[in-house]
Each structure stands twice: as C-alpha cells, then as structure tokens.
Amino acid sequence: MAMRYFKNAAIRGKEIKKKAKEPWHKNKEPWYKKKEVWYIDGLPYECTRCGQCCKGKGYIWVAYEEVLGMAEHLEVSPEAFIQQYTHRARGRRSLVQTPKGDCVFLSHDSTGQSQCKVYPVCPAQCWSWPFWPANLFDRHCWDDAAKECPGIGKGEMHDCAEIRRMRAASPTRRHRRVQRPGQR
Ligand code: SF4
Ligand code: SF4
C-alpha cells in the first residue's frame, strides 16, 4: 500500500514538474482575455435630444485637435475659439458654460429639442456619452445614469465592440460616481 502511494506520488511529482516547465500561456488564454464584461451582449441607447447632458456644473473637456475641428466648423481661428469658447481648468481645457450651467453651444429648436451648434465635430466627451467608464463600471452605475438620461435603455442596440471603442475614447475619469449628465 505504502509502495503504491509513493509510486503515485512520484508520478504526480513528475507531472507537476513537467507542467511547471511548460510556458504559462501554452494552450491557455490569459485571464484578462477570458474576463467578460457585463455588457457583452450590447446595450440599448438612443438620444431623445432632451439636452440634459449638456447642462449643469462641471467640465466639457476638449483636446487641441477637437478645438481645431470646432474652430473650422464655426469658421473662426483656433486662437479666437480658445479665447472665446474655452477656459483652463485642472490643467486641461474645457468648453465655456453659461451662468445657468448650459454648454455654450447648446441651443433649442422650435419644438424645444436640444441642438448642438458643433454637433458634427463635438468633443469625444459628448459623442462617447453614455458609454463612459464610470457608467459602464457595473449594471448599477448604468442604471444610475439612466435615471438622468432618458435615452439609456431605449432604441438602437450598440454592440460590445462599439461600446468599448467609445469607452476608450471618453476623456472622463475611470472612477465610478464621477461624472453624470449635468455634472460635466
Ligand atoms: S441626456 Fe441622454 S437623451 Fe438627453 S440629450 Fe443627453 S444623451 Fe440625449
Ligand atoms: S458641445 Fe454640443 S454635445 Fe457637447 S455639451 Fe456642448 S452642446 Fe452638448
């Protein structure tokens, strides 16, 4: 009995040593590739143009390339755009807001729906909404964001690849509970 135990232990020992010599990734997917995100099946979202996310205290971060695009769209020089429509905050540039907290480019059409004066070239922070890291942290955060954005959970389905692309493009911080509509 004892002999059989030692024989089995020796076989097991050899197997363990053999495995240890194999590259760790042989026939295995790394753990970070296996990990599935909770929105793997996609998420529904379609803007209702309520304008809620363009209002409120906070920041609308703009990169220099975005400034160039918006300046061209408005047919002003980049310098004039920077001076008139942006301000410095926390070491970055943000779009100016009205005293009420509305984005300087927010307007409304005759039916009361919101309009963005720089829509075709709006900053990544705007077009990546609501697929921001903070909103995608978990289902709870997504549901939280839906309380303030009526477009979340409705309309067109966005697949996981598209969501990931927008999430990566968002200049907002990754911490949960950072920015919500009206807190830019
Ligand atoms: S809050 Fe949502 S539905 Fe309203 S304008 Fe912004 S993205 Fe569209
Ligand atoms: S740039 Fe346009 S989309 Fe972005 S906050 Fe201002 S009005 Fe809204």
Domain extents in the chain: 43-169
- The pLDDT value given to residue 7: 59
Does ligand 1 lie within 6 Å of residue 52's CB atom? yes
Share of the chain above pLDDT 90, in %: 68
More confident residue, 22 or 124: 124
CA distance 13 to 19: 10
Banded pLDDT at 180 (limits 50, 70, 90) = very low
Distance 183 CA to ligand 2 centre (A): 13
pLDDT of amino acid 157: 97
**Which pLDDT tens digit goes with each residue over 40-75?**
999 999 999 999 999 998 899 999 999 999 999 999
**Pocket of ligand 1, candidates 53, 108, 154, 179: which has the most ligand atoms within 8 Å of its Cβ, to mutate?**
53
- pLDDT score of 4 more than 70: no
CA distance 55 to 103: 6
- How many whole angstroms separate alpha carbon 93 and alpha carbon 166? 20
Which helix (H) or strand (E) element contains residue 60? none
Q: pLDDT digit string (tens) for 18-37?
A: 666 666 556 666 655 666 88
Q: How far is the CA of 103 from the centre of ligand 2 (A)?
A: 6
